[in-house]
Protein backbone atom coordinates (compact mmCIF):
# COMPACT_ATOMS: atom_id res chain seq x y z
CA UNK A 1 0.00 0.00 0.00
CA UNK A 2 1.40 3.37 -0.98
CA UNK A 3 0.54 6.73 0.52
CA UNK A 4 0.60 10.00 -1.36
CA UNK A 5 2.49 12.82 0.33
CA UNK A 6 0.45 15.32 2.27
CA UNK A 7 0.20 18.56 0.29
CA UNK A 8 1.85 21.53 1.90
CA UNK A 9 -0.66 24.28 2.67
CA UNK A 10 -0.77 27.45 4.73
CA UNK A 11 -0.23 27.10 8.49
CA UNK A 12 -3.35 25.99 10.32
CA UNK A 13 -5.19 24.79 7.21
CA UNK A 14 -4.95 21.16 8.31
CA UNK A 15 -6.46 22.00 11.71
CA UNK A 16 -9.39 23.79 10.08
CA UNK A 17 -10.01 20.84 7.76
CA UNK A 18 -9.94 18.39 10.67
CA UNK A 19 -12.44 20.52 12.58
CA UNK A 20 -14.78 20.60 9.59
CA UNK A 21 -14.57 16.82 9.25
CA UNK A 22 -15.34 16.46 12.94
CA UNK A 23 -18.42 18.69 12.57
CA UNK A 24 -19.56 16.69 9.57
CA UNK A 25 -19.27 13.40 11.49
CA UNK A 26 -21.31 14.83 14.38
CA UNK A 27 -23.88 16.18 11.97
CA UNK A 28 -24.20 12.81 10.22
CA UNK A 29 -24.73 10.99 13.53
CA UNK A 30 -27.34 13.54 14.61
CA UNK A 31 -29.27 13.29 11.34
CA UNK A 32 -29.28 9.51 11.54
CA UNK A 33 -30.56 9.54 15.14
CA UNK A 34 -33.19 12.15 14.25
CA UNK A 35 -34.58 10.08 11.37
CA UNK A 36 -34.62 6.82 13.34
CA UNK A 37 -36.39 8.33 16.35
CA UNK A 38 -38.86 10.14 14.06
CA UNK A 39 -39.81 6.84 12.44
CA UNK A 40 -40.45 5.23 15.81
CA UNK A 41 -42.39 8.29 17.00
CA UNK A 42 -44.69 8.29 13.96
CA UNK A 43 -45.44 4.58 14.44
CA UNK A 44 -46.48 5.25 18.03
CA UNK A 45 -48.66 8.17 16.97
CA UNK A 46 -50.25 5.93 14.38
CA UNK A 47 -51.16 3.40 17.08
CA UNK A 48 -52.97 6.03 19.12
CA UNK A 49 -54.67 7.61 16.14
CA UNK A 50 -55.77 4.34 14.47
CA UNK A 51 -56.63 2.05 17.36
CA UNK A 52 -58.06 4.64 19.72
CA UNK A 53 -59.12 7.90 18.08
CA UNK A 54 -60.63 6.56 14.86
CA UNK A 55 -62.21 3.41 16.33
CA UNK A 56 -63.65 5.29 19.29
CA UNK A 57 -65.09 7.82 16.88
CA UNK A 58 -66.65 5.07 14.76
CA UNK A 59 -68.04 3.04 17.68
CA UNK A 60 -69.22 5.99 19.76
CA UNK A 61 -67.93 4.50 23.01
CA UNK A 62 -67.02 8.00 24.24
CA UNK A 63 -68.83 11.24 23.66
CA UNK A 64 -67.10 13.65 21.31
CA UNK A 65 -66.22 16.16 24.04
CA UNK A 66 -64.71 13.44 26.23
CA UNK A 67 -62.79 11.97 23.29
CA UNK A 68 -61.38 15.38 22.37
CA UNK A 69 -60.47 16.07 26.01
CA UNK A 70 -58.34 12.92 26.09
CA UNK A 71 -56.71 12.94 22.66
CA UNK A 72 -56.87 16.67 21.89
CA UNK A 73 -54.92 17.42 18.68
CA UNK A 74 -53.33 13.97 18.23
CA UNK A 75 -54.76 13.52 14.67
CA UNK A 76 -53.34 16.86 13.54
CA UNK A 77 -49.98 16.17 15.18
CA UNK A 78 -49.81 12.79 13.45
CA UNK A 79 -50.57 14.30 10.05
CA UNK A 80 -47.94 17.03 10.42
CA UNK A 81 -45.26 14.59 11.54
CA UNK A 82 -45.93 12.24 8.65
CA UNK A 83 -45.03 15.07 6.27
CA UNK A 84 -41.95 15.90 8.31
CA UNK A 85 -40.80 12.27 8.27
CA UNK A 86 -40.89 12.17 4.45
CA UNK A 87 -38.68 15.28 4.26
CA UNK A 88 -36.24 13.92 6.84
CA UNK A 89 -35.91 10.58 5.04
CA UNK A 90 -35.14 12.47 1.82
CA UNK A 91 -32.43 14.48 3.59
CA UNK A 92 -34.27 17.80 3.26
CA UNK A 93 -33.94 18.91 6.89
CA UNK A 94 -34.10 22.67 6.42
CA UNK A 95 -37.24 22.70 4.28
CA UNK A 96 -38.79 19.96 6.38
CA UNK A 97 -38.60 21.94 9.63
CA UNK A 98 -39.46 25.17 7.83
CA UNK A 99 -42.78 23.57 6.83
CA UNK A 100 -43.18 21.91 10.23
CA UNK A 101 -42.81 24.96 12.50
CA UNK A 102 -45.92 26.85 11.25
CA UNK A 103 -47.96 23.90 12.57
CA UNK A 104 -46.51 24.01 16.08
CA UNK A 105 -49.82 25.42 17.34
CA UNK A 106 -51.12 21.84 17.28
CA UNK A 107 -48.41 20.96 19.78
CA UNK A 108 -49.21 24.04 21.86
CA UNK A 109 -52.85 22.95 22.04
CA UNK A 110 -51.78 19.47 23.09
CA UNK A 111 -49.33 20.79 25.69
CA UNK A 112 -51.93 23.02 27.32
CA UNK A 113 -54.42 20.14 27.51
CA UNK A 114 -52.19 17.30 28.72
CA UNK A 115 -53.01 17.65 32.44
CA UNK A 116 -56.72 17.71 31.72
CA UNK A 117 -56.31 14.73 29.37
CA UNK A 118 -54.70 12.63 32.10
CA UNK A 119 -57.44 13.59 34.52
CA UNK A 120 -60.30 12.76 32.12
CA UNK A 121 -58.65 9.49 31.09
CA UNK A 122 -58.29 8.33 34.69
CA UNK A 123 -61.92 9.23 35.36
CA UNK A 124 -63.19 7.30 32.33
CA UNK A 125 -61.09 4.25 33.18
CA UNK A 126 -62.57 4.30 36.66
CA UNK A 127 -66.24 4.88 35.81
CA UNK A 128 -66.78 3.81 32.19
CA UNK A 129 -66.83 0.02 32.03
CA UNK A 130 -67.18 -0.15 28.24
CA UNK A 131 -64.19 2.13 27.70
CA UNK A 132 -62.15 0.22 30.25
CA UNK A 133 -62.73 -3.07 28.38
CA UNK A 134 -61.98 -1.38 25.03
CA UNK A 135 -58.75 0.14 26.32
CA UNK A 136 -57.54 -3.16 27.72
CA UNK A 137 -58.34 -4.96 24.45
CA UNK A 138 -56.47 -2.44 22.31
CA UNK A 139 -53.42 -2.39 24.58
CA UNK A 140 -53.18 -6.19 24.31
CA UNK A 141 -52.50 -5.97 20.57
CA UNK A 142 -48.94 -7.07 19.63
CA UNK A 143 -48.32 -3.72 17.90
CA UNK A 144 -48.39 -1.92 21.25
CA UNK A 145 -45.49 -3.97 22.69
CA UNK A 146 -47.08 -3.94 26.18
CA UNK A 147 -47.38 -0.14 26.12
CA UNK A 148 -50.31 1.46 27.91
CA UNK A 149 -52.28 4.42 26.61
CA UNK A 150 -51.00 6.41 29.60
CA UNK A 151 -47.45 5.84 28.29
CA UNK A 152 -48.27 7.00 24.76
CA UNK A 153 -50.10 10.24 25.53
CA UNK A 154 -46.98 12.16 26.77
CA UNK A 155 -45.02 11.30 23.59
CA UNK A 156 -45.66 14.61 21.73
CA UNK A 157 -44.40 16.56 24.75
CA UNK A 158 -41.29 14.42 24.99
CA UNK A 159 -40.71 14.74 21.25
CA UNK A 160 -40.61 18.54 21.42
CA UNK A 161 -37.77 18.31 23.95
CA UNK A 162 -35.94 15.91 21.64
CA UNK A 163 -36.41 18.22 18.66
CA UNK A 164 -34.81 21.06 20.61
CA UNK A 165 -31.66 19.05 21.34
CA UNK A 166 -31.42 17.58 17.85
CA UNK A 167 -31.77 20.96 16.15
CA UNK A 168 -29.25 22.61 18.45
CA UNK A 169 -26.71 19.92 17.66
CA UNK A 170 -27.40 20.27 13.94
CA UNK A 171 -27.11 24.07 13.92
CA UNK A 172 -23.90 23.96 15.98
CA UNK A 173 -22.33 21.51 13.53
CA UNK A 174 -23.54 23.23 10.35
CA UNK A 175 -21.50 25.92 8.65
CA UNK A 176 -23.20 29.34 8.40
CA UNK A 177 -22.58 29.19 4.64
CA UNK A 178 -24.58 25.99 4.36
CA UNK A 179 -28.11 26.49 2.89
CA UNK A 180 -29.78 24.68 5.82
CA UNK A 181 -28.17 26.84 8.52
CA UNK A 182 -30.78 29.61 8.52
CA UNK A 183 -33.85 27.30 8.48
CA UNK A 184 -32.35 25.23 11.31
CA UNK A 185 -31.61 28.34 13.37
CA UNK A 186 -35.19 29.59 12.95
CA UNK A 187 -36.54 26.18 13.90
CA UNK A 188 -34.42 26.05 17.07
CA UNK A 189 -35.90 29.34 18.24
CA UNK A 190 -39.53 28.39 17.55
CA UNK A 191 -39.29 24.91 19.04
CA UNK A 192 -37.45 26.26 22.10
CA UNK A 193 -40.43 28.54 22.77
CA UNK A 194 -42.78 25.55 22.80
CA UNK A 195 -40.30 23.67 25.00
CA UNK A 196 -40.26 26.57 27.45
CA UNK A 197 -44.06 26.53 27.49
CA UNK A 198 -43.96 22.84 28.41
CA UNK A 199 -41.60 23.54 31.30
CA UNK A 200 -43.73 26.45 32.52
CA UNK A 201 -46.88 24.34 32.41
CA UNK A 202 -45.16 21.56 34.33
CA UNK A 203 -43.95 23.98 37.00
CA UNK A 204 -47.39 25.55 37.25
CA UNK A 205 -49.02 22.15 37.64
CA UNK A 206 -46.55 21.05 40.33
CA UNK A 207 -47.08 24.33 42.16
CA UNK A 208 -50.87 23.86 42.04
CA UNK A 209 -50.49 20.39 43.53
CA UNK A 210 -48.36 21.82 46.35
CA UNK A 211 -50.92 24.53 47.10
CA UNK A 212 -53.71 21.98 47.22
CA UNK A 213 -51.63 19.75 49.51
CA UNK A 214 -51.07 22.62 51.97
CA UNK A 215 -54.76 23.51 51.80
CA UNK A 216 -55.68 19.95 52.80
CA UNK A 217 -53.22 20.13 55.71
CA UNK A 218 -55.09 23.11 57.21
CA UNK A 219 -58.13 22.69 59.41
CA UNK A 220 -61.33 24.24 58.09
CA UNK A 221 -61.64 26.71 55.24
CA UNK A 222 -60.73 29.97 56.96
CA UNK A 223 -57.36 30.22 55.26
CA UNK A 224 -57.47 30.17 51.47
CA UNK A 225 -54.10 28.93 50.24
CA UNK A 226 -54.92 28.31 46.57
CA UNK A 227 -54.90 31.74 44.91
CA UNK A 228 -54.08 32.93 41.38
CA UNK A 229 -50.44 33.89 40.93
CA UNK A 230 -49.29 32.39 44.24
CA UNK A 231 -46.26 30.11 44.31
CA UNK A 232 -45.30 27.62 46.99
CA UNK A 233 -41.70 28.05 48.18
CA UNK A 234 -41.06 25.99 51.32
CA UNK A 235 -42.32 24.87 54.71
CA UNK A 236 -40.85 23.80 58.03
CA UNK A 237 -40.79 24.05 61.80
CA UNK A 238 -39.42 27.19 63.46
CA UNK A 239 -39.60 28.46 67.01
CA UNK A 240 -41.12 31.88 67.62
CA UNK A 241 -39.56 34.04 70.32
CA UNK A 242 -42.46 35.44 72.42
CA UNK A 243 -42.37 38.65 74.50
CA UNK A 244 -41.97 38.87 78.28
CA UNK A 245 -40.08 35.61 78.62
CA UNK A 246 -42.98 33.32 77.70
CA UNK A 247 -42.41 29.74 76.67
CA UNK A 248 -40.88 29.19 73.23
CA UNK A 249 -43.12 26.95 71.15
CA UNK A 250 -42.45 25.44 67.72
CA UNK A 251 -44.73 26.56 64.92
CA UNK A 252 -45.21 25.33 61.38
CA UNK A 253 -44.52 27.97 58.74
CA UNK A 254 -45.54 27.82 55.07
CA UNK A 255 -43.74 30.29 52.82
CA UNK A 256 -45.38 31.39 49.58
CA UNK A 257 -44.40 34.00 47.03
CA UNK A 258 -46.55 36.70 48.66
CA UNK A 259 -47.36 35.61 52.23
CA UNK A 260 -45.94 33.73 55.21
CA UNK A 261 -48.47 31.49 56.95
CA UNK A 262 -48.04 30.54 60.61
CA UNK A 263 -49.90 27.49 61.91
CA UNK A 264 -49.95 25.23 64.95
CA UNK A 265 -50.64 21.49 65.06
CA UNK A 266 -54.11 20.36 66.09
CA UNK A 267 -54.52 18.07 69.05
CA UNK A 268 -53.30 14.58 68.08
CA UNK A 269 -56.37 12.95 69.68
CA UNK A 270 -58.84 14.95 67.59
CA UNK A 271 -61.07 12.47 65.70
CA UNK A 272 -60.79 14.18 62.29
CA UNK A 273 -58.06 16.84 62.50
CA UNK A 274 -55.36 15.00 64.44
CA UNK A 275 -52.91 15.20 61.53
CA UNK A 276 -53.76 18.76 60.47
CA UNK A 277 -52.75 22.30 61.37
CA UNK A 278 -54.76 25.29 62.52
CA UNK A 279 -53.88 28.53 60.74
CA UNK A 280 -52.97 31.32 63.15
CA UNK A 281 -51.61 34.29 61.22
CA UNK A 282 -50.94 35.34 57.67
CA UNK A 283 -48.10 37.82 57.16
CA UNK A 284 -48.01 39.68 53.81
CA UNK A 285 -44.45 39.94 52.52
CA UNK A 286 -45.02 43.11 50.52
CA UNK A 287 -43.60 45.52 53.15
CA UNK A 288 -41.55 42.98 55.12
CA UNK A 289 -37.92 43.47 56.18
CA UNK A 290 -35.78 40.38 56.84
CA UNK A 291 -32.68 40.57 59.07
CA UNK A 292 -30.41 37.90 60.48
CA UNK A 293 -29.87 38.69 64.16
CA UNK A 294 -27.29 35.97 64.71
CA UNK A 295 -26.20 32.90 62.82
CA UNK A 296 -23.72 34.57 60.46
CA UNK A 297 -20.90 32.28 61.56
CA UNK A 298 -20.73 28.52 61.95
CA UNK A 299 -22.61 28.58 65.22
CA UNK A 300 -25.42 26.46 66.57
CA UNK A 301 -28.56 27.72 64.82
CA UNK A 302 -29.61 31.32 64.36
CA UNK A 303 -32.30 33.97 64.81
CA UNK A 304 -34.21 35.84 62.10
CA UNK A 305 -36.08 39.10 62.58
CA UNK A 306 -39.08 39.81 60.34
CA UNK A 307 -40.45 43.34 60.57
CA UNK A 308 -43.92 44.12 59.22
CA UNK A 309 -45.75 47.47 59.24
CA UNK A 310 -47.73 46.52 62.39
CA UNK A 311 -45.92 43.47 63.75
CA UNK A 312 -42.52 41.97 64.39
CA UNK A 313 -41.67 38.29 64.30
CA UNK A 314 -38.57 36.57 65.68
CA UNK A 315 -37.89 33.09 64.32
CA UNK A 316 -35.29 30.77 65.82
CA UNK A 317 -33.82 27.43 64.84
CA UNK A 318 -31.03 25.29 66.26
CA UNK A 319 -30.07 24.10 62.76
CA UNK A 320 -27.57 26.46 61.12
CA UNK A 321 -28.21 25.22 57.59
CA UNK A 322 -31.98 25.39 58.05
CA UNK A 323 -31.96 28.98 59.30
CA UNK A 324 -29.70 30.03 56.43
CA UNK A 325 -32.09 28.43 53.92
CA UNK A 326 -35.03 30.25 55.50
CA UNK A 327 -33.15 33.55 55.39
CA UNK A 328 -32.32 33.09 51.72
CA UNK A 329 -35.89 32.05 50.81
CA UNK A 330 -37.50 34.93 52.73
CA UNK A 331 -35.07 37.50 51.35
CA UNK A 332 -35.60 36.27 47.79
CA UNK A 333 -39.40 36.35 48.10
CA UNK A 334 -39.41 39.87 49.59
CA UNK A 335 -36.89 41.08 47.02
CA UNK A 336 -38.96 39.83 44.10
CA UNK A 337 -42.09 41.51 45.46
CA UNK A 338 -40.25 44.81 45.91
CA UNK A 339 -38.76 44.60 42.43
CA UNK A 340 -42.22 44.18 40.94
CA UNK A 341 -43.47 47.16 42.97
CA UNK A 342 -40.53 49.23 41.71
CA UNK A 343 -41.46 48.43 38.11
CA UNK A 344 -45.03 49.53 38.81
CA UNK A 345 -43.81 52.86 40.22
CA UNK A 346 -41.62 53.41 37.17
CA UNK A 347 -44.58 52.85 34.90
CA UNK A 348 -46.57 55.29 37.01
CA UNK A 349 -43.86 57.91 36.53
CA UNK A 350 -43.87 57.35 32.78
CA UNK A 351 -47.57 58.21 32.47
CA UNK A 352 -47.39 61.39 34.55
CA UNK A 353 -48.58 64.62 33.02
CA UNK A 354 -45.98 66.65 31.11
CA UNK A 355 -44.49 69.62 32.95
CA UNK A 356 -45.69 72.03 30.24
CA UNK A 357 -49.33 71.05 30.83
CA UNK A 358 -48.85 71.53 34.58
CA UNK A 359 -47.40 75.06 34.11
CA UNK A 360 -50.23 76.06 31.78
CA UNK A 361 -52.81 74.79 34.27
CA UNK A 362 -51.19 76.92 36.98
CA UNK A 363 -51.48 79.99 34.70
CA UNK A 364 -55.12 79.21 34.00
CA UNK A 365 -55.86 79.02 37.72
CA UNK A 366 -54.24 82.42 38.39
CA UNK A 367 -56.14 84.09 35.50
CA UNK A 368 -59.90 83.84 36.22
CA UNK A 369 -60.97 85.20 32.79
CA UNK A 370 -59.25 82.39 30.88
CA UNK A 371 -60.91 79.01 30.60
CA UNK A 372 -59.44 76.18 32.68
CA UNK A 373 -58.15 74.38 29.63
CA UNK A 374 -56.56 75.73 26.48
CA UNK A 375 -58.70 75.09 23.36
CA UNK A 376 -57.21 72.51 21.10
CA UNK A 377 -54.85 71.16 23.77
CA UNK A 378 -55.43 67.61 24.92
CA UNK A 379 -55.65 67.15 28.66
CA UNK A 380 -53.58 64.31 30.04
CA UNK A 381 -55.64 62.23 32.42
CA UNK A 382 -54.03 61.17 35.68
CA UNK A 383 -52.78 57.59 35.67
CA UNK A 384 -55.29 55.00 36.84
CA UNK A 385 -54.54 53.23 40.10
CA UNK A 386 -52.25 50.30 39.58
CA UNK A 387 -53.74 46.93 40.30
CA UNK A 388 -51.30 44.20 41.33
CA UNK A 389 -50.98 41.33 38.92
CA UNK A 390 -50.75 38.90 41.79
CA UNK A 391 -52.68 38.91 45.08
CA UNK A 392 -50.52 40.19 47.91
CA UNK A 393 -52.41 38.34 50.60
CA UNK A 394 -55.36 35.99 50.98
CA UNK A 395 -58.79 37.34 51.87
CA UNK A 396 -58.44 36.88 55.60
CA UNK A 397 -55.20 38.88 55.68
CA UNK A 398 -56.53 42.07 53.98
CA UNK A 399 -56.62 45.27 56.00
CA UNK A 400 -53.79 44.45 58.38
CA UNK A 401 -50.31 43.05 58.26
CA UNK A 402 -51.16 40.16 60.54
CA UNK A 403 -54.67 39.06 61.39
CA UNK A 404 -55.79 36.62 64.05
CA UNK A 405 -57.94 33.90 62.53
CA UNK A 406 -60.72 32.29 64.61
CA UNK A 407 -60.39 28.54 64.91
CA UNK A 408 -63.39 26.47 63.92
CA UNK A 409 -65.64 25.54 66.82
CA UNK A 410 -63.53 27.28 69.48
CA UNK A 411 -63.86 30.49 71.50
CA UNK A 412 -61.95 33.64 70.68
CA UNK A 413 -58.42 33.67 72.08
CA UNK A 414 -57.38 36.09 74.76
CA UNK A 415 -55.06 39.04 74.36
CA UNK A 416 -52.27 37.23 76.17
CA UNK A 417 -52.54 34.29 73.77
CA UNK A 418 -52.18 36.66 70.85
CA UNK A 419 -49.09 38.30 72.25
CA UNK A 420 -47.43 34.91 72.77
CA UNK A 421 -46.93 34.49 68.98
CA UNK A 422 -46.18 37.92 67.59
CA UNK A 423 -44.68 41.05 69.13
CA UNK A 424 -46.92 43.91 68.06
Q: Torsion angle, CA of 213/218/221/226, rounded to 10 degrees?
A: -30
For 357-393, the pLDDT digits (tens) are: 444 555 455 444 444 444 444 444 444 444 444 333 3
The more confident residue out of 162 and 302 is: 162
Strands (E), 196-297: 232-240, 249-256, 259-265, 277-284, 289-294
pTM above 0.75, yes or no: no
The more confident residue out of 369 and 21 is: 21
| Structural contact between residues 236 and 326, judged by C-beta atoms closer than 8 angstroms | yes
pLDDT at 13: 64
| Structural contact between residues 392 and 334, judged by C-beta atoms closer than 8 angstroms | no
Confidence tier at 415 by pLDDT (50, 70, 90): very low
Q: Which of 145-159, 286-300, 304-318, 341-355 has the lowest mean pLDDT?
A: 341-355
For 209-226, the pLDDT digits (tens) are: 999 999 999 987 778 899
Residues in Cβ contact with 183 at an 8 Å cutoff, skipping those fewer than 6 apart: 93, 94, 95, 97, 98
pLDDT at 296: 58
For 154-168, the pLDDT digits (tens) are: 999 999 999 999 999
Confidence tier at 341 by pLDDT (50, 70, 90): low
Residues in Cβ contact with 128 at an 8 Å cutoff, skipping those fewer than 6 apart: 61, 62
In the chain, % of residues over pLDDT 70: 75
Annotate 313-334 with b (16+ C-beta within 10 A) or e (fewer).
bbbbbebeeebbebbebbbebb
Q: Give the mean pLDDT of 66-87.
A: 96
pLDDT at 318: 87
Residue 340 CA to residue 218 CA, distance in Å, equals 30
Confidence tier at 86 by pLDDT (50, 70, 90): very high
Confidence tier at 408 by pLDDT (50, 70, 90): very low
Residues in Cβ contact with 276 at an 8 Å cutoff, skipping those fewer than 6 apart: 217, 218, 219, 265, 266
Q: Which of 52-56, 73-77, 243-247, 293-297 has the lowest mean pLDDT?
A: 293-297
pLDDT at 70: 96
For 222-270, the pLDDT digits (tens) are: 788 999 999 999 999 999 988 776 778 899 999 999 999 999 998 888 7
Element spanning 184, H or E = helix 181-217
Q: Return mean pLDDT, the chain.
A: 80
Q: Give the mean pLDDT of 329-343.
A: 84
DSSP 4-64: PPPPP-STTHHHHHHHHHHHHHHHHHHHHHHHHHHHHHHHHHHHHIIIIIIHHHHHT-S-H
pLDDT at 10 over 60: no
Residue 49 CA to residue 26 CA, distance in Å, equals 34
Amino acid sequence: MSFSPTPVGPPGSRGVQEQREKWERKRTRTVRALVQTEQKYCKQLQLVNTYFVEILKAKGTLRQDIRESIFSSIPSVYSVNQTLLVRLENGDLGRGFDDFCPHLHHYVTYVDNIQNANKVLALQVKKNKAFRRFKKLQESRPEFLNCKLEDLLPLPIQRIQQYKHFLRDLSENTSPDYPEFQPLSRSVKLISEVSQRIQDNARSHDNHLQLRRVQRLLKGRKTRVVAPGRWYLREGWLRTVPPKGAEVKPKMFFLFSDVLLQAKPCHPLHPTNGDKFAGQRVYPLKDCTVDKVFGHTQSQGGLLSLTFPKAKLLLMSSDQEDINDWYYSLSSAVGQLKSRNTVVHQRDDLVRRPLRCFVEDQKNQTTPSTPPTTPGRKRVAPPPPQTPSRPTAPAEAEGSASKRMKLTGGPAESESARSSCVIL
